[in-house]
Amino acid sequence: MIVPFGTRLRAAMVERGPLCVGIDPHAHLLQAWGLPDDPSGLEKFTFTVIEALAGQVAMFKPQSAFFERFGSAGVAVLERAIPAARSAGALVLLDAKRGDIGSTMAGYASAYLSKDAPMACDALTVSPYLGFGSLQPAFDEARIAGAGVFVLALTSNPEAPALQSARTADGATVAGSVLDGLYKLNEGAEDLGSFGAVVGATIGSTDEDLDICGPLLAPGLGAQGATAESLAKIFGPALHNVVPNMSREILAQGPSVQALRDATAKANDTLGPVLGY
């Protein structure tokens, strides 16, 4: 029997705390770790993070771009890292922000969500800006595989409001229509649905209804300025479904495995009670 992603995510958050840690091998982080900015440095960085934290976090979020920049050698590291992290007990959300139409979207869905794919993940980030309905192949593949999908809704980049706050023909905002679509996809879930939204933890506040019955990925904690109090202000009644994402503040503690673990434990201890864990 296939266990839905939302069910597995909730269980991981209860067991390990709610934190999602990014695996973002920026060139400056590789340098700070004393590693070369090449595929060997990328591999050392990635597997050190997995070794250190796979037993402590609910989920990892590798940023695909930082692997793709090394071409096939970098993608090969990612292809090995995903199953390694999953085997060690952490869920893996690949941050690839794919978005297209028809057979191309189906191809992306198959590449990352099909359970037999070489880079099969627990969940994938996607972009809805070719229309929410264009993402249907990803939703369909996720249901078959018991995987999840996180859709960009309210991001914190300064360019975002021009698009996400624009009004559609029925008067709703673009972001609101995305959130409504996710609410409908999650109807019938026993606890946490498998179709989530990306809502930046640094947006300050929003009038949108975030009760989508699915997970709410909140990037921007730590080095980017958001705090536990920021989450309470933004998410309100939906706070228990928030998946807080922290990357730079934790990764900067490497290459010491113990320092990475200590920073992660501190973040979970701070965020867990606020989010109800």
Q: Where are the domains of the chain?
A: 5-271
Give the integer Cα–Cα distance in Å for 231 and 131: 28
Amino acid at 118: P
Half-sphere exposure of 216 (CA within 13 A, CB side): 29
What does the CA dihedral 61, 66, 67, 71 come to, rounded to 10 degrees? Answer: 160
Reply yes or no on whether 266 is catalytic: no
Q: Which of 97, 115, 233, 266 is catalytic?
A: 97
Phi, psi of 199 (to 5 degrees): -130, 115
What is the predicted pLDDT for the residue at 199?
A: 98
CATH topology for 5-271 is TIM Barrel (3.20.20)
pLDDT tens digits, one per residue of 51-110: 999 999 999 999 999 999 999 999 999 999 999 999 999 999 999 999 999 999 999 999
Q: Are 245 and 221 in contact (CB under 8 A)?
A: yes
Alpha helices (H) in the chain, listed in sequence order: 5-16, 27-32, 39-53, 65-68, 72-87, 102-113, 136-145, 160-164, 174-186, 228-235, 248-251, 257-275
Check: CB of residue 161 under 8 Å from CB of residue 131: no
Joined together, the tokens standing for residue 89 give 């007990």
- The residue type found at 122 is D
pLDDT per residue as tens digits for the range 200-222: 999 999 999 999 999 999 999 98
What are the residues facing 61 on neighbouring strands? 22
**Under 8 Å between Cβ of 212 and 193:** yes
Residue 219's pLDDT is what? 96
Q: If the chain, 277 residues long, is cut into consecutive pieces of 10 residues, what is the mean pLDDT of each piece? A: 96 96 97 98 98 97 98 98 97 98 97 96 97 98 98 95 93 96 96 97 94 96 86 95 96 98 96 95
pLDDT of residue 225: 83
For residue 194, the SS3 value is coil
